[in-house]
Amino acid sequence: MSHLIAPSLLAADFGNLERDVRMVEKSEADWHHIDVMDGMFVPNISFGMPVIEAIGRHAQKPMDVHLMIEAPDRYISRFADLGASVLTVHVEACRHLHRTLYAIREAGMRPGVALNPHTSLSSIEEVLSDLDLVCIMSVNPGFGGQKFIPSTFDKVRRLVALRSAQSADFLIEIDGGVGESNAGQLLDAGADVLVAGSSVFRSPNPTEAVARLKHHARQNA
C-alpha cells in the first residue's frame, strides 16, 4: 500500500481556510488532518465545532480528526455528525480506552489512538486489535512547527513489530515535524500516514510539497 499524506490544517492560513482546504482537495493529499485542542490537555486552543463544520462543507476527502482534549467521550457523537472519518483520542486522556474506541466505531468512524512522545507502547498493547490507526506524536503536542524527536524512528519500528506479533491491522501515523528531510526514514521504519503541517503550508508551492511527500521513495527501496 502506498503511504498516505494528511496535511495538518493547524498550519493553514486561518484567514484563508477555505482556500487551503480546497488546495488539499486538489492536491495528491489523501486526508485532511484536523487537530482539536481544548487548552487543558495541551496548552493551546484550536478548531471548534463551527470551524470543523465549515471545513466539512468544502472537504470531500476524509477528515482525520485528532482530539487533544480531556474526556473525549463527551463529543464522539458530535464529531460523527460533523463528518469525521477517523477519530483519534489520546491514551493519556482516556480512563476507559477500550470503551472509548468501541464508541467511536459504533458511531461510524474509524478509531485511532495517539501517544505522546514519553508514552510507552505498552499502554496500548491490549487494544491494538481494536484500532484502525495509531498516531505516534513526534513532537510534544499543542503547537505546530516544532522540531522532530529522533527517537520516533525506533518507536515506529517497535510498533511495527507489535502489529506483526498480534496480527493486528492498523495504520501507523506520524504527527509532528514531518517533512522531506525525514519522510524517507519514517517510511523505512514502517510509517503508513505522514501528517505534514508547516512543511506543506509554509512551502512556496504547497501542492508541489504534497506531491513530493506523496511520491517520496523509501530510502532502502
Residues 88-142 have pLDDT tens digits of 999 999 999 999 999 999 999 999 999 999 999 999 999 999 999 999 999 987 6
Q: Is the pTM of this model over 0.75?
A: yes
- Categorize the per-residue pLDDT at 145 as very low, low, confident or very high, splitting at 50, 70 and 90: low
The pLDDT mean for the chain works out to: 94
Q: Point out the residues that are catalytic.
A: 35, 175
Res 213 pLDDT > 70: yes
Q: Give the DSSP H or E segment for 52.
A: helix 49-58
Note whether 67 and 90 are within 8 A (CB). yes
The reported pLDDT for the residue numbered 122 is 97
The reported pLDDT for the residue numbered 140 is 87
Least confident piece of the model among 78-87, 117-126, 141-150: 141-150
The reported pLDDT for the residue numbered 105 is 98
- CATH fold group of domain 4-214: TIM Barrel (3.20.20)
Q: How many residues does the chain have?
A: 221
Residue 84: helix, strand or coil by DSSP? strand
The reported pLDDT for the residue numbered 187 is 97
Note whether 194 and 186 are within 8 A (CB). yes
The reported pLDDT for the residue numbered 115 is 97
pLDDT 10s digits, 17-45:
999 999 999 999 999 999 999 999 988 88
Strand order through the sheet with 110-115: 4-7, 193-196, 171-175, 133-137, 110-115, 84-90, 63-68, 32-37
Note whether 142 and 37 are within 8 A (CB). yes
What is the rounded CA–CA span in Å between residue 129 and residue 73?
Answer: 20
Q: Give the DSSP H or E segment for 133.
A: strand 133-137
The reported pLDDT for the residue numbered 143 is 65
| Residue with the larger pLDDT of the pair 143 and 149 | 149
pLDDT 10s digits, 191-206:
999 999 999 999 999 9
Backbone dihedral angles phi then psi of residue 90, each to the nearest 5 degrees: -90, 135
Note whether 182 and 203 are within 8 A (CB). no
Res 144 pLDDT > 60: yes
Res 220 pLDDT > 60: no
| Residue with the larger pLDDT of the pair 148 and 220 | 148
